[in-house]
């Protein structure tokens, strides 16, 4: 069912707020700025609640049906086969994302009014933040891939702007471009992903002829004969299934946006931005766009088990690798950043095994506890005047009690300890992971499960390490600094409390199957949207069970694994607590000393940044330089372009040698020249040919009809002496000059013989049949030379009885 709803206002409100603040905010008071900024986002939140109400009213939990809200705003890009509409759509999946974005976004806007209070560029910050909200809402509302991509790049832009918000703050680097560099890195790495994304779009467009989700899923529903299942050789390699290639390219795009291996490197650097930005963009919303995209395109991914395996494997690997890096970081925000990368890995693991509801549920819970963690970290940083090193913190639980409490709740949630929300969402993913049956990779389930569990124990460890080093033990700050610590005001505390409450209780929305068939509200809510892929896949790939179906009925196994994951989480937490609750411990230092190599690798993020510099950035710069200096400046410009000019110049110099200025040389040259000219011009005419009727009949007699007008032409192809030539024509060989004609009453025959004319061309009509000889005399008036040219003409009477004409002797008259 489709219903119409003015969805455009949801993104438009923050966009208008952004325009207002960016255009006018500089001149206005802070009150205006944050009233508009926060007000527009709350407006979007209210509209979202209306949308959710409408969606809920149209949702049938038992039959898994729903209404979708549509808003066709206008035709966007129309050219020939390309018909892209600016259309928005909201279904249950969009509803969840809308709620996350607007709810968490509104809280973070509120928080930012406190956090950025003393900031000079207050209006610019809120302008960017509103712009981000608008772009993110477009991303989740778009009803085709191009509108999604519009939001996708828009959020990337805002990420760039906000990471580089303090564009001239000098960090460790000399030039003070640290933040700007981080922003640029984020933008460019994202663009690399986007390159793959648009190629994926093109492949789909070439196959389906549309990029609307509805049309694409209709193509997926066509089963094995559908365009998406056709075999495909991208760039000449192959064949693969088209769906697989497109899905893989789109997923590479998602690894950029959602910071997965191999494109995750930008996210830790992105922590250079203000902390509310890290909470909103780099934890709760933007980075989950990739997960959303895969869930949205579930009908495509379900058609290609091998790409699903890639998605799950990349997710699991990222979850594990990022978690290990998180073990050794000392910057409070860097720990959270790697934790985000790791958690995003879990989400991809979920959607990669076809458990879209579980993946999105983790997006949902993660938005709460990770935003809470970031905002808590922000409160700490704010209170400590931009101190971010956890080794210098400690004992903050007394001075920052609200922050500490909410931070602890969120830590327990992310560590995966029941009954907080993180446990349910993460455990759901792990459960679906081990019970997956992927026909392309039967080994997938256990592998990703082990990776996930290993990541889980690391998560619990580094999160409690972070918590204890920050809040427990003794304070390691100087007394002076301790005196300056101030607790967050209400604008910052309220969001913390609300988010922590969410992290505490929202697990009930996604209770595992253990609690009954319909206990998992979240799964049922998303089922109408994300289960269609499974149906299409069953149609398209007979016999393949991509859906995690095998073990999912076994409550015993599920319960056992739940206990195991609880135990793992508890173990990690307890170890961290024991090791760090009195500050950085001797035991930990000994441990790192013993394993210096692995520790260094982890501490330096496995040297991935350095590796990329060596194989990508450095060669890029060198190639660019070489192309400029060698190819462009040297080969093309100097050798070819200026070289040709130099050759002309040289020729000029050569010819200049003749310009000696000496009269004798010139005179000698003049004489030689005159001689040459005379020799050439004075050649008497000798190469005349008479053409009759444009035919140059060399020697052979020319046949014409009686009464036909014959055109004669004595022009030479190149006639240098044309004006000096005079002609006499005798057409019938009787010795009398026919052309020029005798004037009627003119002197005598004698004179007539002397007449010449300039006529090079003449015409004549033969009235009697026979053979004639045409004689042309030509003379050169300059040199008084004369030449004669003849041509034989056979005149035939078409009416006469046929006489075999062959040769001259047969003809009665003979030659005149």
The pair of three-digit structure tokens given for residue 93, joined into one six-digit string? 């999946």
Contacting residue, 137, 146, 277, 328, with other proteins by CB under 8 A: 146
Residue 760 tokens, joined: 């090079």
Phi, psi of 617 (to 5 degrees): -75, -45
Q: Rule CB under 8 A: is residue 682 a binding residue for other proteins? A: no
86 or 407, CB closer to other proteins?
86
What does R_g of the chain's alpha carbons equal in angstroms? 45
Interface with other proteins in residues 20-79 (CB under 8 A): 22, 26, 74-79
Measured from the CB atom, the residue of 185 and 426 that comes closer to other proteins is 185
Three-state SS string over 580-614 comes to HECECCHHHHHHHHHCHHHHHHHHCHHHHHHHHHH
What is the Cα–Cα distance from 789 to 713, expressed in whole angstroms? 12
Of residues 453 through 492, those in contact with other proteins by CB under 8 A are none
Which distant-in-sequence residues (6+ apart) come within 8 Å of 632 by Cβ?
Answer: none
Write each residue from 690 to 719 as x if it is in contact with other proteins (CB under 8 A), else as -, in one continuous string: ---xxx-------x-x-xx--x--------
How many angstroms separate the CA atoms of 391 and 476, rounded?
A: 8
For other proteins, give the closer residue by CB, 434 or 704: 704
By C-alpha distance, which of 100, 115, 99, 96 is closest to 368?
100
Of 181, 494, 752, 785, which one interacts with other proteins (CB under 8 A)?
A: 181
The contacts found for 477-480 with CB under 8 angstroms, 24 or more apart, are 477/384, 477/387, 477/392, 477/393, 477/394
Based on CB atoms, which residue is closest to other proteins, 508 or 700? 700
Cβ of residue 814: shortest distance to other proteins, in angstroms?
Answer: 17
- Give 3-state DSSP helix, strand, coil % of the chain, rounded to 5: 60, 10, 25
| 322 is a site residue for other proteins (CB under 8 A) | no
Q: What is the DSSP letter of 78?
A: E
CB of 425 to other proteins, least distance (A): 32
Smallest distance, other proteins to C-beta of residue 207, A: 10
Specify the residue, 631 or 803, whose C-beta has the smaller distance to other proteins: 631
Q: Which of residues 729-748 bind other proteins (CB under 8 A)?
A: 731-732, 736, 738-739, 741
73 φ, ψ (degrees, to nearest 5): -80, -60
CA dist., res. 575 & res. 63, Å (int): 47
**Interactions with other proteins, residue window 393-432 (CB under 8 A):** none
Query: Six-digit token pair at 126?
Result: 């809120």
Q: Which among 488-496, 529-537, 754-762, 781-789 is the span making contact with other proteins, rule CB under 8 A?
A: 754-762
CA–CA distance, 6 with 73 (Å, rounded to integer): 9
Among residues 376, 338, 385, the alpha carbon closest in space to that of 486 is found at 385
Cα 44 to Cα 37, 134, 184, 387, 434, distances in angstroms: 11, 9, 30, 34, 39
In the bound state with other proteins, the residue whose beta carbon lies nearer, of 464 and 729, is: 729
* Stretch touching other proteins by CB under 8 A, among 192-200, 265-273, 352-360, 503-511: 192-200
Of the candidates 286, 260, 263, 282, the one whose C-alpha atom is nearest the C-alpha of residue 273 is 282
157 binds other proteins (CB under 8 A): yes
Using the minimum distance from each CB to other proteins, give the nearer residue, 177 or 519: 177
Kindly state whether residue 759 participates in binding other proteins, applying the rule CB under 8 A: yes
Rule CB under 8 A: is residue 168 a binding residue for other proteins?
yes
User: Site map for other proteins, 548-587, x if CB under 8 A?
Assistant: ----------------------------------------
Considering only 171-179, 361-369, 674-682, 778-786, which stretch makes contact with other proteins by CB under 8 A?
171-179
Interface with other proteins (CB under 8 A), residue total 85
| 236 versus 661: smaller Cβ distance to other proteins | 236
Query: Quick one: which of 31, 236, 593, 699 contacts other proteins (CB under 8 A)?
Result: 236
Q: What separation in angstroms does the CA of 569 have from each of 46, 464, 562?
A: 37, 10, 11
**Measured from the CB atom, is 489 or 713 closer to other proteins?**
713
Question: Which of 184, 491, 535, 545 is the binder for other proteins (CB under 8 A)?
Answer: 184
Please identify which residue in 53, 57, 60, 170 interacts with other proteins, judged by CB under 8 A. 170
Under 8 Å between Cβ of 38 and 109: yes
630 binding other proteins? (CB under 8 A): no
Closest distance to other proteins from the beta carbon of 291 (Å): 21
If binding is defined by CB under 8 A, does position 610 make contact with other proteins? no
Q: Considering beta carbons, is residue 206 or 671 the nearer one to other proteins?
A: 206
In the chain, DSSP finds a helix count (H) and a strand count (E) of: 30, 12
């Amino acid at each position: 069912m489709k219903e119409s709803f003015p969805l455009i206002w949801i993104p438009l409100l923050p966009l208008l707020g952004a325009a207002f603040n960016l255009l006018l905010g500089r001149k206005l008071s802070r009150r205006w700025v944050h009233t508009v900024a926060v007000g527009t986002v709350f407006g979007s939140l209210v509209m979202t609640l209306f949308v959710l109400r409408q969606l809920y009213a149209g949702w049938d939990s038992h039959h898994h049906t729903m209404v979708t809200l549509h808003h066709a705003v206008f035709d966007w890009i129309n050219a020939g086969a390309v018909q892209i509409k600016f259309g928005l759509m909201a279904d249950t999946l969009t509803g969840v994302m809308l709620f996350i974005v607007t709810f968490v976004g509104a809280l973070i806007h509120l928080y930012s009014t406190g956090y950025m209070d003393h900031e000079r560029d207050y209006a610019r910050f809120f302008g960017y933040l509103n712009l981000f909200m608008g772009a993110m809402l477009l991303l989740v509302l778009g009803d085709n891939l191009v509108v999604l991509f519009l939001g996708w790049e828009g959020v990337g832009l805002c990420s760039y702007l906000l990471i580089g918000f303090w564009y001239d703050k000098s960090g460790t680097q000399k030039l003070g471009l640290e933040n700007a560099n981080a922003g640029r890195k984020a933008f460019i790495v994202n663009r690399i992903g986007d390159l793959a994304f648009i190629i994926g779009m093109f492949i789909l467009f070439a196959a389906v002829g549309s990029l609307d989700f509805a049309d694409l899923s209709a193509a997926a529903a066509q089963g094995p004969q559908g365009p998406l299942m056709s075999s495909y050789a991208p760039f000449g390699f192959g064949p693969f299934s088209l769906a697989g290639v497109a899905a893989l390219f789109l997923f590479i795009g998602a690894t950029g946006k959602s910071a997965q291996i191999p494109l995750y490197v930008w996210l830790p650097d992105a922590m250079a931005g203000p902390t509310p930005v890290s909470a909103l963009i780099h934890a709760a919303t933007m980075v989950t766009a990739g997960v959303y995209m895969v869930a949205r395109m579930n009908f495509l991914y379900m058609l290609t088990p091998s790409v699903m395996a890639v998605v799950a494997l990349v997710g699991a690997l990222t979850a594990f690798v990022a978690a290990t890096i998180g073990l050794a970081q000392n910057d409070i925000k860097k720990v959270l950043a790697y934790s985000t990368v790791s958690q995003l890995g879990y989400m991809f693991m979920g959607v990669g095994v076809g458990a879209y509801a579980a993946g999105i549920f983790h997006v949902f819970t993660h938005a709460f506890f990770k935003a809470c963690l970031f905002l808590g970290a922000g409160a700490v940083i704010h209170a400590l005047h931009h101190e971010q090193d956890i080794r210098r913190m400690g004992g903050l639980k007394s001075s920052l009690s609200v922050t500490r409490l909410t931070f602890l709740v969120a830590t327990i949630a992310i560590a995966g300890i029941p009954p907080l929300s993180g446990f349910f969402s993460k455990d759901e993913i792990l459960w679906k992971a081990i019970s997956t049956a992927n026909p392309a990779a039967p080994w997938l389930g256990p592998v990703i499960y082990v990776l996930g569990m290993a990541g889980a124990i690391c998560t619990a460890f580094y999160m409690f390490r972070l918590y204890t080093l920050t809040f427990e033990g003794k304070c390691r700050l100087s007394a002076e600094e301790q005196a300056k610590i101030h607790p967050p005001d209400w604008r910052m505390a309220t969001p913390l409390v609300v988010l922590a409450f969410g992290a505490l209780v929202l697990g009930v929305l996604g209770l595992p199957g253990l609690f009954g068939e319909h206990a998992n509200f979240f799964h049922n809510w998303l089922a109408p949207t994300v289960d269609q892929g499974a149906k299409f896949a069953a149609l398209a790939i007979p016999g393949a069970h991509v859906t995690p179906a095998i073990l999912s009925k076994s409550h015993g196994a599920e319960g056992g694994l739940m206990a195991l994951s609880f135990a793992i989480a508890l173990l990690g937490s307890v170890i961290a607590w024991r090791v760090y609750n009195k500050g950085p411990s001797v035991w930990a230092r000994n441990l790192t000393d013993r394993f210096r190599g692995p520790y260094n690798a982890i501490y330096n993020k496995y040297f991935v940044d350095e590796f990329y510099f060596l194989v990508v950035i450095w060669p890029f710069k060198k190639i660019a330089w070489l192309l400029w200096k060698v190819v462009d400046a040297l080969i093309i410009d100097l050798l070819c372009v200026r070289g040709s000019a130099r050759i002309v110049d040289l020729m000029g110099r050569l010819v200049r040698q003749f310009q000696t200025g000496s009269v004798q040389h010139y005179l000698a040259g003049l004489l030689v020249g005159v001689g040459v000219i005379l020799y050439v011009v004075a050649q008497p005419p000798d190469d005349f040919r008479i053409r009759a009727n444009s035919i140059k009949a060399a020697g052979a007699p020319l046949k014409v009809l009686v009464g036909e007008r014959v055109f004669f032409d004595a022009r030479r192809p190149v006639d240098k002496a044309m004006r000096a030539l005079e002609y006499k024509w005798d057409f019938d060989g009787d010795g009398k000059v026919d052309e020029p004609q005798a004037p009627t009453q003119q002197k005598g025959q004698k004179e007539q013989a002397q007449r010449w004319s300039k006529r090079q061309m003449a015409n004549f009509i033969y009235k009697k049949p026979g053979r004639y000889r045409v004689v042309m005399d030509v003379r050169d008036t300059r040199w008084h030379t004369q030449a004669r040219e003849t041509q034989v003409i056979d005149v035939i009477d078409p009416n006469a009885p046929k006489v075999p004409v062959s040769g001259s002797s047969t003809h009665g008259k003979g030659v005149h």
